[in-house]
Amino acid sequence: MRGLFALVALAGLAILAGCGEPGPKKYDVSGTVQYEGEPVTEGDIMFASEDKTIGPEGGKIKDGKYALKVREGKNRVEIRGTKIIPGKKGSMGEPFVDSFIPEKYNTKTELTADVGSGKTTHNFELKK
């Protein structure tokens, strides 16, 4: 009986090991993000595939740079930048954080990026 259990367990592991992530291949994507000629010091970037069955991939922007894994294909790109406003406080006394990137680059984004072999660096220079 123990032998049968071990055989079933090994078969299950073999099946799981052969299962990769479904869908298009992922690539390491990186680049820079500037707003009005200055690096976005803190923020978030999201790549959302045109294929609605695939969830978005997101990452952090730090000192104007980002790096994350993104599925191949055409993606809608959303960028959000935040900065602390000195001397201003939130409702609970916390530092006030301002979202300064216009909607045309996030909730109403106009940005796209085609990700694939040889298409893994995407720099974004945003204007008001």
Integer CA distances (angstroms), 92 to 88, 89, 95, 96, in order:
11, 8, 9, 10
Structure tokens at 10: 């090994």
Q: Would you write out the chain's pLDDT as a tens digit for each of its 128 residues?
A: 454 444 444 555 444 444 555 678 999 999 999 999 999 999 999 999 999 899 999 999 999 999 999 999 999 999 999 999 999 999 999 999 999 999 999 999 999 999 999 999 999 999 99
